[in-house]
Amino acid sequence: MTPNSLTDCDLHVHLAGSFYADDLLAIGAPIFREVDWNARGFLDGYNAALNTTLNPVQLFAEALENPKIGFPKFKAAYVLSAEDGGDFDKFLWKYRFFTQLWGFGWERDRETAVAMITQAVEHHKRQGVRYVEYRSGFWGEGAELRRKMQICTETLAAECDEQFTARYIVPLPRDDPWPMYQAVRQLLTEQPHLAQTLVGLDFATYEEGQPPKLFRNIFHQIHRDNAANPAQQLPIVYHVGETFFDKSLESAVRWCHEAALLGAKRLGHCIALGLDPAMAVGRRPQAHEAELVSERLDQIAYDLRFAKGLRQTGVTVDEQQLRAEQQSLVKMVEGDVVERPYTPQRLQEIRQRQDFVLHQLTQLGTVIECCPTSNLRIGGVPDAAHHPVHKLLASPVNLCLCTDDPGTFDITLASEIEWVVQHTSFNHNTFAQRLGNPRRFAL
Ligand SMILES: [Zn+2]
């Protein structure tokens, strides 16, 4: 392991979140007057979420003509800072400040698309990062969708040399993952050379309301297809346990385990496994007290299945009582909600459930991708002292440190590592020892 191995490998990066304010300015400079900033309700949405009146054309013009005054204003309008923190809606609209340009560039021509990707990758190279797995979803269908993914893959491949490796992961939308998955397989069949760069699949976008069990069939299909195509392996990474106000904390912890049991190789975030339950329920009135009856039933089935291991970790599993609850719940209508307030004992047992799942993940070899700043700014983590990273680090689970959306947050992999060193008892050496070389978790 080289001393720099932690700062030169980023395994959780969204391509469209990799553009820093100066990249946005450079990309936008030739085209900002042509972009329809009203498209898809961008200006209205941005202004409502940020309580402001955004004038993108004026911001670009001023930043280009008078950078000393104009650039800080431009940057403030784009970067999701600590002051904006905790608000996913603000994040989304600031992120869309870039994606308005990104969408325009992709529709314009191949050269513009290639130039945009190159801009982000070159920025990573200048930072000394040497291995990045980029995630980027595309829109459209059929040949048009495959064309975009092919351009992205080939542009990333062209950026690779002895000093730098870029890989591409395709995110599958949770509300309908099949068409995107089929498009990826078709693309690899038509263009087998892309398989060297296009190396995996992600499940991203809204997590709430989309339990891992919904994806059992597609996971099985992907595993089968991987077995049948040794030269075109598509392992799966999976965002989970990041936003989980739709359910109990037991269920949020369980979802992380279920995603791993389905065969996800790495899990994005898993805040639910590291955030203290007392802190989690304190984030909103009645937080995590209500969930769908289906979730409670799934939880009971899970507790019965893992009764032995849960008990060994100190969790009470009263099988008779669980079966009685099961009997009464199955009479309820789908869509009904059960409410269960928290007691100190229940909160304590959730801590033990977190330990249980962290040990299960360790045995499965599953990796957690921890993104400190992202969790603070958009993951509902209240402060550094209560960051999930503390519990994750104290556990034996495989862990890597990543940036998620480095440009949108104006952070770097190196600054994330500094954050950990500053806010935990680890120093650079002990932290590097705890994590080991992250490249062993590359797809
Ligand atoms: Zn992410």
- Is 88 in the same domain as 75? yes
> Rounded to the nearest whole angstrom, what is the distance from the C-alpha of residue 69 to the centroid of ligand 1?
32
Q: Please report whether residue 80 resides in a domain.
A: yes
> Rounded to the nearest whole angstrom, what is the distance from the C-alpha of residue 373 to the centroid of ligand 1?
12
3-state secondary structure 262-282: HCCCEEEECHHHCCCHHHHHC
- Is 280 in the same domain as 312? no
Residues 305, 316: Cα–Cα separation, whole Å: 14
> Rounded to the nearest whole angstrom, what is the distance from the C-alpha of residue 350 to the centroid of ligand 1?
25
- Is 133 in the same domain as 255? yes
> Rounded to the nearest whole angstrom, what is the distance from the C-alpha of residue 404 to the centroid of ligand 1?
5
Q: Please report whether residue 3 resides in a domain.
A: no
Banded pLDDT at 10 (limits 50, 70, 90): very high
- Is 210 in the same domain as 300? no
Q: Which of 339, 355, 379 is the last residue of a domain?
A: 339
Average pLDDT over residues 10-29: 96
> Rounded to the nearest whole angstrom, what is the distance from the C-alpha of residue 238 to the centroid of ligand 1?
9
> Rounded to the nearest whole angstrom, what is the distance from the C-alpha of residue 99 to the centroid of ligand 1?
16
Q: Which residues surround ligand 1, an ion (CB under 5 A)?
A: 404
> Rounded to the nearest whole angstrom, what is the distance from the C-alpha of residue 339 to the centroid of ligand 1?
30
Instruction: List, in sequence order, every residue forming a beta bridge with 290; answer none if it has no partner.
Output: 339
Q: Please report whether residue 4 resides in a domain.
A: no
Q: Position 203: which residue type?
A: F
- What is the domain range of residue 298? 290-339
Higher pLDDT pick, 85 / 109: 109
- Is 114 in the same domain as 183? yes
> Rounded to the nearest whole angstrom, what is the distance from the C-alpha of residue 331 to the centroid of ligand 1?
38
Contact indicator for 70, 28 with CB cutoff of 8 Å: no
> Rounded to the nearest whole angstrom, what is the distance from the C-alpha of residue 154 to the centroid of ligand 1?
22
Residues 360, 124: Cα–Cα separation, whole Å: 34
Question: How confident is the model over 354-380, as pLDDT tens digits?
Answer: 999 999 999 999 999 999 999 999 998
Question: How confident is the model over 392-437, as pLDDT tens digits?
Answer: 999 999 999 999 999 999 999 999 999 999 999 999 999 999 999 9
> Rounded to the nearest whole angstrom, what is the distance from the C-alpha of residue 269 to the centroid of ligand 1?
8
> Rounded to the nearest whole angstrom, what is the distance from the C-alpha of residue 268 to the centroid of ligand 1?
6
- Is 331 in the same domain as 266? no
Q: How much is the pLDDT for 83?
A: 85
- Is 402 in the same domain as 324? no
Banded pLDDT at 4 (limits 50, 70, 90): low
Token pair 């890597």 in the structure block, residue: 400
State the total domains in the chain.
2
Average pLDDT over residues 239-260: 97
Banded pLDDT at 84 (limits 50, 70, 90): confident
> Rounded to the nearest whole angstrom, what is the distance from the C-alpha of residue 392 to the centroid of ligand 1?
18
> Rounded to the nearest whole angstrom, what is the distance from the C-alpha of residue 267 to the centroid of ligand 1?
10
